[in-house]
Amino acid sequence: MGIYGMVTGKPGKSGFGSASTAEDVTHSIDANHLTAIITGGTGGIGLETARVLAMRGAHVIIAARNEKAGNEAKEMIRQMNPNARVDFLQLDVSSIKSVRSFAHEFLALNVPLNILINNAGVMFCPFKLSEDGIESQFATNYIGHFLLTNLLLDKMKTTTRESGTEGRIVNLSSIAHTYTYPKGIKFDGINDPEGYSEKKAYGQSKLANLLHSNALSRRLQEEGVNITVNSLHPGLVTTNLFRHSGFEMKIFKALSFFLWKDIPKGAATTCYVALHTDLKGVTGKYFSDCNIMTTSKLATDKSLADKLWDFSIKLIDSIP
């Protein structure tokens, strides 16, 4: 669709475009039979996604770090829609311990799981290690979601088998996946402060999200499992993700104001990929403005995806 479509909002092949909102793309969709987990669902795109999925009838579980914000988000959605089925469970995706605890707590509820939306993230952070000694953007944006997905995958397989309903995993990536380190992933220097670039580290984590989506999609297809895995770029959306942005980003935002979306439009692609019936059976794709888009060559590198998968398993297993 390119810049023209972004600026004008002209719909693409899907019938939707950059001007479409989350409510637009889910209009008339009945999600009463679905249960969805949304990480980072207390603000921005995540909160709007939670609100709209609940509006369409889904049982929504908001997974986020801040308990106060999580309960406030839950109550806000219920006030807007008294019939909404929404719950909150605490999750810090930057913490391996927290991810494992969340998965244990969720599985103990003995409810189905149809949709997993890996939405939470941080952006352009100064160098910092997580409690597990992993660079913070890689830990939060990628490793935590990789582990969460693995821990919940059997539940999703059981749900799809018993219900006959397709499961969907949605990973929020970014166009920033094209701006990363020369080899894509710095396997030998993930946690090395030397040569660290906050922007390239962010791009690296978003490339990892894409590679994870593609690798998992292939594995599930080989197993014959009725679960799709797709990734997306939500667009340029003004949220608190930009709290670490510097002067250069403020200048960029000022010069590119015509490309930026509000939150209802920013959540549209997530809701489209999670719910729309036209995407039944569509897997291993990358979406932007509710349409399939091409990615960088690195994102389609199967050997890189497999190497990242093995690296991620070893990294997680090395943490008590």
Catalytic residues: 196
Which tokens in the block code for residue 123? 């952006």
Yes or no: say if 266 and 48 are a contact pair by the CB < 8 Å rule: yes
Close Cβ partners of 36 (under 8 Å, ≥ 6 residues apart): 53, 58, 59, 60, 61, 114, 115, 116, 117, 274
Which sign, positive or negative, has the C-alpha torsion 31, 35, 40, 41? positive
Q: State whether residue 43 is helix, strand or coil.
A: coil
Beta bridge partners, 36, equal 60, 115
- Among 291, 251, 299, 242, CA closest to 20: 291
- Between the alpha carbon of residue 182 and those of residues 30, 206, 209, 252, the distances in Å are 44, 14, 17, 24
74 vs 85: CA distance, rounded Å:
9
Q: Which residue has the tokens 């397989």?
A: 157
37 vs 2: CA distance, rounded Å:
31
**What are the DSSP calls for 207-260, one per residue?**
HHHHHHHHHHHHHHHHHT-SEEEEEEE--SB-SGGGGG--HHHHHHHHHTGGG-
Largest CA distance in the chain: 52
Calculate the CA 35 to chain-centre distance. 16
Q: State whether residue 320 is helix, strand or coil.
A: coil
45 vs 50: CA distance, rounded Å:
9
Calculate ∠ Cα 242-247-249, nearest 5°. Answer: 45
